[in-house]
A and B are shown apart, each in its own frame.
Chain A
Amino acid sequence: MSMSDKIKDLDTFLVYSITLEEEAAERHDELADMMGVHNNPEVAATFRKLAHYSRLHAQEIRDHAKGRDLPVIAPWDFEWEGAEAPESGDMSGVNYLMNNAQALQLAMANEQRAFDFYDQIGRESQVPEVAAMAAEFAIEEKEHLDLLRAWMDKTDASVDEKHFDFDLVKMTD
């Protein structure tokens, strides 16, 4: 079953979207904190910015939802395609030595999944108002993707390349 089949009304769609954005914000803030604590300030700043965008988008969606009586869905009752919300999954590339290019790649993968989520619903939902809103959100995600791509182009992947941890060199002497 595709997401457009699982989400049958606007209220449900709103809850899914808000959760997607809020969990993305939370995840990006978590990543920013991690990187700050591990003395990788450039990457921390990158994730902090991404958290900010997600938070803005979440607020926009909450504004759309004002006055509506949204259903409460337990975290484990969401039927995401993966284990987690599309923009928060996959921590496998995360490493204290990661550079900005790698951080952006991770963010882009997340944004792509978020885009795919909205895009699929926008194109295939049988509920017109859901389709319309999803299509709107898909455009917004696409803008984020473009922003990230531009950012990526400006980032020199070889600079700040941390190679390996220079405090862990074994003294063979």
Chain B
Amino acid sequence: MNSARSIDISLAITGAGGIGSITVGELLLRLAGKSGFFGLMRRSFGPQIRGGEAAALLRISDQPVECMNDSFDILLALDWLNAERFAEEITLRPDSLIIADPSAGEVPSVYREMGIEILEIPMKSLAGETPGGRPNMVALGLLAQWLGYSSASAGKLIDKVFSAKGKEVASGSKAAFSKGFDEASIAKARELEKQPVPAKKERQAGRWQLSGNEGCGLGALRGGIRFAAAYPITPATDMLEWLSPRLKKLGGRLLQAEDELASINMVIGGSFGGVPAMTATSGPGLALMLESMGLAVAAEIPALVVNVMRGGPSTGCPTKSEQTDLNVALYGLHGDAPHLVLGALDHADCILTTEWAVRLAEALQTLAVVLSDQYLAQSRALIAKPTYRLPKIPARNIAEETEGYLRYKLTGSGVSPMAIPGTALNMYVADGLEHTEKGKPSSTAGDHQSQLDKRDRKISSFDFGDHWADIRGQGTTAIITWGSTSGAVREAAGRIASSGGAVKVIAIRLLLPASPAKLAAELHGVTRVLVVEQSHSRQFYLYLRTHYDITAETRVFARPGPLLISPGEIVQQIQDWS
């Protein structure tokens, strides 16, 4: 346990068939928020559309959390139906606690063999004592008591959430909650716990609760996106569903396209028309879009593609997280097609990275791909209200009426003023074909070279500033990572620091263009580099080898999904390297 935190508790609530484990998790997260805590909740499901196995996995702390912990302190099982599905995700320790309903049957052998303490509470029969009472509400009461939340705020929340379901459900839920909240055996078990958990009375102002998908959506809107075209795909669909009504409210719109090929072309069309545009997808969709992503690059049309990574290759593991679309985002475009690739590092960073990507795409008239992943996208976090300051980035350079307008004029910066349809005199034909400055098709050596130089120069000569990476700490050992593994890496570094060590964390946010000089400067004095990534083929490590000079001794900790890399495992990697 990280001793910098006085409160750090990880809970898993499992159940099946619509029994309501997810609802318990969601309510607990909200109660944590109202009680002044930070936290994280992810969910895991069976393949059924409804009524499958469902697990709510939470971490609640008095300090911000950016990753799940190594193991769970409490597993509350509403039932044991198909519980083996979650066994490898819900790691328990011998000193963890299991709360189970004796009427649900025997605790699975995998947990019994560990000798874990089992607190038997008849949640089903307690719920049955009040009309409209449900076992999951009893469970909520038990856990709220454990965590020291106020039953008054819980009661208010239950009323609000269940009001639509009718009076009996709401009052039954509150009554069942009270049964759990007043259950004596919990108080007793807490006394025996090494870390009792008092709740904060004061509410910390200015905290947010959001998912990574919502964060990307907000970042896009902040950056100025007003048109989206997309096709449903797990796990990006809920970002689009969040955006759809909000775009409309801002005077924009979202079109549901017939497929990803259509989506990316609709985006390019909208942006050609002058409206900042985006799509969101996942690996299989990104792969489909590649040809037209190259069109955006060649025709110099700003475009944003948010790709929420999931297990690959091909159909892969659609509901699980992985960091294996890096290659396709970096190198998937045919031809020489310089463009931008960014990766969000945590929930709040989804907002920053996406906003930054939009502004950069608009300023540089190019394609920006933002990589997120299923874990970030679909988990909810309680975070400090995000405050960040992006450097000043020019808006899209829009051409005024110009006699003899040259759309692809060779400029020092490489960015040429872009005509927006409707502007007199500036009519031009955007083209994927190589072209002259005027925009007429050309395959001469001179034009191809100069336009390639232009498209390269506009990106390579741009000053991206300090946001290329998030760097924390100092040390002769550095951990380089990207995307959501940053959370676990930072926590690992924190634990190492608490025990007297020193590790520098470099989480790269801007992947393309690479920043070799900046990384070299950060690695000055670093003798050991550990690369951490969630992939099988070490995509990120090979990216580093390709674009950077790392002279320090390097090791790689790469593991594919579905299991998230935990801070403890990273600490172990560093310790094993002594």
Contact = CB atoms under 8 A, between A and B. Distances in A.
Interface of A: 37-41, 96-97, 159, 162-173
Contact of A40 (B17, B136, B163, B164): B17
A38 B23 contact: no
Contact of A97 (B18, B27, B52, B162): B18
B18 A167 contact: yes
B161 A169 contact: yes
A173 B30 contact: yes
A98 to B, nearest CB: 10
Interface of B: 16-23, 26-27, 30, 48, 50-54, 79, 81-82, 128, 134, 136, 157, 160-165, 169, 209
Contacts of A38: 17, 48, 50-52
A162 B127 CA distance: 13
B32 to A, nearest CB: 12
Contact of A171 (B26, B50, B51, B136): B26
A169 B51 contact: no
Contacts of B26: 169, 171
Nearest to A37: B48
Contacts of B22: 167
A40 B18 CA distance: 9
Nearest to B160: A172
Contacts of B169: 163
B50 A165 contact: yes
Contacts of B16: 39
Contact of B51 (A96, A159, A170): A96
Nearest to A165: B18
A126 to B, nearest CB: 50
B173 to A, nearest CB: 9
Contact of A169 (B23, B48, B209): B23
A96 B163 CA distance: 24
A40 B51 contact: yes
Nearest to B82: A39
Contacts of A41: 81
B251 to A, nearest CB: 27
Contacts of B134: 163, 166
Given A97-B51, A166-B20, A171 B30 contact: yes
A61 to B, nearest CB: 35
Nearest to A173: B30
Most buried by B among A159, A168, A170, A171: A171
Contacts of B52: 38-39
Contacts of B157: 173
17 contacts: A37-B48, A38-B17, A41-B81, A97-B17, A162-B18, A163-B134, A164-B165, A166-B18, A166-B23, A166-B136, A167-B22, A169-B26, A169-B161, A169-B165, A172-B160, A173-B157, A173-B209
Nearest to B56: A167
A38 B81 CA distance: 10
B51 A39 contact: yes
Contacts of A37: 48
A145 to B, nearest CB: 29
A-B pairs with the 8 shortest C-beta distances?
Answer: A166-B20, A39-B17, A39-B16, A165-B18, A96-B51, A38-B51, A167-B22, A39-B81
Given A37-B48, A97-B51, A173-B30, A167 B23 contact: yes
Nearest to B132: A163
